[in-house]
Structure 1
Amino acid sequence: MKVKKQMLSLKAYEPGKSIDNVKKELGLTEIVNLASNENPFGCSEKVQQALQAVSNYARYPDSRAEDLRGKVANHLRVSENQLLFSSGLDEMIQMISRSLLSPETNVVMASFTFPQFRHHAVIENTEIRDIPLKDGRHDLEGMQQAVDEQTSLVWICNPNNPTGTYVNETEIRSFLEAIPNDTIVVLDEAYYEYVTASDYPDSMELIDEYDNLLVLRTFSKGYGLAAFRIGYAIGHEELMSKLDIGRLPFNTSRFAQIAAQAALSDEAFVRNCSERNFEGLQQFYTFCNEFKVPYYPSQGNFIYIEPGKNPEELFQFLIQRGYIVRPIKDGVRITIGKKEDNEGLIKLLKEFMENETSSIKLTS
């Protein structure tokens, strides 16, 4: 089998354990999934109402998603030709990587960020220059120093997944000023709807000023449409026309386009989800401060904590009791759920931490 040699170093994406699989595996009847950063409050009721009108399944969807394109352009106050739609942001990352990266280029990214950036860079056989985070945040100075004439692409996940930290307006402006105009800078704003920081960048304003800026957003998180797989990019028309060449025909379904239009029309639902997410974060901050568990204040719908033990041990402790979280590196990423789900998980986290403290005392 003559597979690209770089593929041999990779593994297929492994999603978090599904609720049904955990139920079967552990014989549990109730499972709370706080591992995948899904919206625990679902989606707007307007989505279900809109989908009831869908018919004639034999027809292909609108390849350019014209109706949705018009609504998103109006919502963001950008030109329709500044938009490109994809089957979730995973496909958009693939399209960008395929279009911009090659063995003759390099890509700059954080060393602890969304793994699909690296995954597709490896597939395109480009040089990867990953810069360690500083206090859980992108080290923009270090990333700037890593950029040279061969740098085709810079990834900035804002807020960063999995730490939830963000780059502010002043920082990103300084960075963009220092980057060559032929190097594309991508701001992945998948969690934009959850952001509450007052100094978070106005990326739509930045796009008007910087030709090499590309912004990614999705309907999977704040809008609660993860099952439909639809995201989009915003950038300058010339750049979008080039990226569009690498897009698969009919890459977003008619269902996804209609669902996204309906979701976009219900801003009150999104605001409510953001407010409840903020309240949920406070629950976890209180726990972490009480038990002195290291964490990063988050601008997403998740929190990354480092309990000081093997994260796999904590993961197993929680999953045996019906709660799924995501072990990553030295810690676990926890999706913010409904108030009662957060309370249930925090109760188990306290039990885990108290048991660890007791075992240390007994063995010391």
Structure 2
Amino acid sequence: MNWKKEIENLKAYQPGKTIDDVKKLYGLKSIVKLSSNENPFGFSPRVQEYLNKADFSYSIYPDGYAKKLRSSISEHLNVSEKQIILGNGSDEIIQIISRGLLQRGTNTVMPSPTFPQYKHNAVIEGAEVKEVVLNEGGRHDLAKMLEAIDENTTVVWLCSPNNPSGEYIREDELINFLDQVPSHVLTVLDEAYFEYVTASDYYDSVELVQKYPRLLVTRTFSKAYGLAGLRVGYGIANEHIISKLEPLREPFNNNIVAQGAAAAALTDQEFIKKCRIENRKGMEMYYDLCREKGLRYFPSQANFIVIDFGIDGDEVFQYLLSKGYIVRSGKALGYPTTVRITIGTLEQNTGLIDTIRSFLDSNN
């Protein structure tokens, strides 16, 4: 068979061990999963109310335009429905953009490390990948990213807050960057963790979309909205860009359950506010631990924190796993001496922090 040469060395996404796998492996009765940046508080009660009342017709296709959800997002953001594209998670939006703009002879610029799907999709399309290393504080080096753009660049990826560092782009930095991006380049601003941001100098990306015609913003219902299992993401841009991307979208890409659940989730911004407040409280608990133990970390505006233990991240990961806590080793994220921890509930954070203290004490 004549496979595309670009996919010869690609590896499939490798999910971590399931909760049941870890229970069996270590003989544990309970597991706390803090590895995938999911919302430990679940989703809004309004979503459950919707699910309880809805009468789904599983034998027919869902609304291919997702009119109700599209209208809900439009009203929530005060943008036209024609400025919105829906995806099976924001992953699909990334895939659609890559399919539409990347090919052999083009290149794409992105920070490193960052969300791996930018690079993954670029490789599939045969485009050259230009990675610009984050600075020591885990922030985008926007000046060097601008320098990396040339006449063959078609897409620049920004991730704010960035995964895995959790750092964000300041408003003045972003505006300065957008003012200098050439007119043949689409800037994609990934805001998967937007709802968790508390920084006062964060920008209004929806407002920027109206000002910059070559800016596309992606968001998701998988994180703060707690609907990771239903896979709903969306993009916001001007009508011309959306009209070019819409034909690349798979028909019926948002299932009938997901469409209504996401629309219901949008109506409960008080739930999102509570999650943001509790997330920040949890983050401060880890900051306190790091200061107490002299551990380096990246200040985070997301719902996770990367902590540097100064040793192989896999060693920390395995220890915590054996104690019933699933986190993410930084070896796969570009920071080999770290682990990435999703901020959990008060009980989950307290238990994990006590376990980390035990690990540190035993290694002194």
TM-score higher than 0.5: yes
Cross-structure match for 2:165:
163
- 1-structure distance, mates of 2:159, 2:82: 24
The AA in structure 2 aligned to 1:96 is: I
Summarize deviations over 1:266-303 as a string: whole Å, max 9, x none: 11111000100000000000000111111011000000
Partner of 2:281: 279
Aligned to 1:188: 190
The letter for the 2-side match of 1:8 is E
Deviation at 1:353, TM superposition (A): 1.4
Instruction: Report the equivalent of 2:77.
Output: 76
- Matches of 1:25 and 1:54, distance apart in 2: 40
Residue pair 1:16, 1:36 contacting (<8 A) in 2 also: no
- 2:8 aligned counterpart, secondary structure: helix
Q: Corresponding residue for 1:259?
A: 261
Q: 1:117 is matched by which residue type in structure 2? A: Y
**Percent of aligned pairs sharing the same letter:** 52
Q: 1:250 aligned to 2:275?
A: no
Q: Confirm whether residue 36 of structure 1 aligns to residue 33 of structure 2.
A: no
Q: Distance in 2 between matches of 1:172 and 1:300?
A: 18
What does residue 233 of structure 1 align with? 235
Q: CA deviation at 1:25?
A: 2.4
Q: Tell me by how many angstroms 1:26 deviates.
A: 2.2
Give the match for residue 48 of structure 1: 48
Note the alpha carbon deviations across 1:202-240, whole angstroms, 9 max, x for none.
101111110000000001111100010000000010100
Partner residue of 2:96? 95
Listed one character per residue, the Cα deviations across residues 68-110 of structure 1 (whole Å, up to 9, x for unaligned) are 1111111001011000000001111111111110011100001
Counterpart contact for 2:56–2:257, Cα < 8 Å? no
The alignment's TM-score, normalised by the length of structure 1, stands at 0.97
Equivalenced residue count is 357
Write the distance in 2 (CA, Å) between the matches of 1:144 and 1:204. Answer: 22
Give the C-alpha shift of residue 4 in structure 1: 1.4
Displacement over 3 Å in runs of 4+? none
* Match of residue 146 from structure 2: 144
AA matched with 1:334: I
Match of 2:322 in 1: 320
Aligned-partner SS, 2:187: strand
In the alignment, the residues of structure 1 paired with residue 7 and residue 22 of structure 2 have an alpha-carbon distance, to the nearest angstrom, of: 30
Give, as a single letter, the amino acid of the residue that structure 2 aligns with 1:248.
E
Q: Which runs of 5+ in 1 are unaligned?
A: 358-364
Q: Does 1:348 align with 2:362?
A: no
- The aligned counterpart of 1:12 is 12
Deviation at residue 17 of structure 1 after TM alignment: 2.1
Contact 2:193 2:223 in 1 (8 A): yes
SS of 1:14's equivalent in the other structure is: coil
Displacement after TM superposition at 1:354 (Å): 1.6
d(CA) in 1 for partners of 2:170, 2:128: 28
Is 1:132 the equivalent of 2:133?
yes
Of 319, 327, 339, which residue of structure 2 is paired with 1:332? 339
> 1:2: Cα distance to partner?
2.3
Instruction: Please tell me whether the aligned partners of residues 61 and 250 of structure 1 are also in contact (alpha carbons under 8 angstroms).
Output: yes
Give the superposition deviation at 1:55: 2.3
Are the aligned partners of 1:189 and 1:215 in contact in 2 as well (CA < 8 Å)? yes
| Cα contact 1:181–1:211 (8 A) shared by 2 | no
Aligned counterparts of 1:111 and 1:276: Cα–Cα separation in 2: 29
Q: Which residue among 162, 172, 175 is the counterpart of 2:174?
A: 172
Q: What residue is the counterpart of 1:207 in the other structure?
A: 209
**Is the Cα contact below 8 Å between 1:73 and 1:83 reproduced in 2?**
yes
Question: Do 1:229 and 1:256's aligned partners in 2 also have CA atoms closer than 8 Å?
Answer: yes
For 2:252 and 2:203, the matched residues in 1 are separated by 32
Unaligned segments of structure 2, at least 5 residues: none
CA distance in 2, matches of 1:218, 1:343: 28
Deviations 1:115-172 (A, max 9, x none): 1111111111100000000021010000000001111000001000011000011001
Q: Give how far 1:8 is off.
A: 1.7
Q: What residue in structure 1 maps to residue 116 of structure 2?
A: 115
SS in structure 2 of the partner of residue 9 of structure 1: coil
The CA distance in 1 between the partners of 2:4 and 2:25, in whole Å, is 36
TM normalised by structure 2 equals 0.97
Contact 2:139 2:168 in 1 (8 A): yes
Displacement of 1:12 in angstroms is: 0.5
Give, as a single letter, the amino acid of the residue that structure 2 aligns with 1:48.
Q
Per-residue deviation at 1:182? 1.9
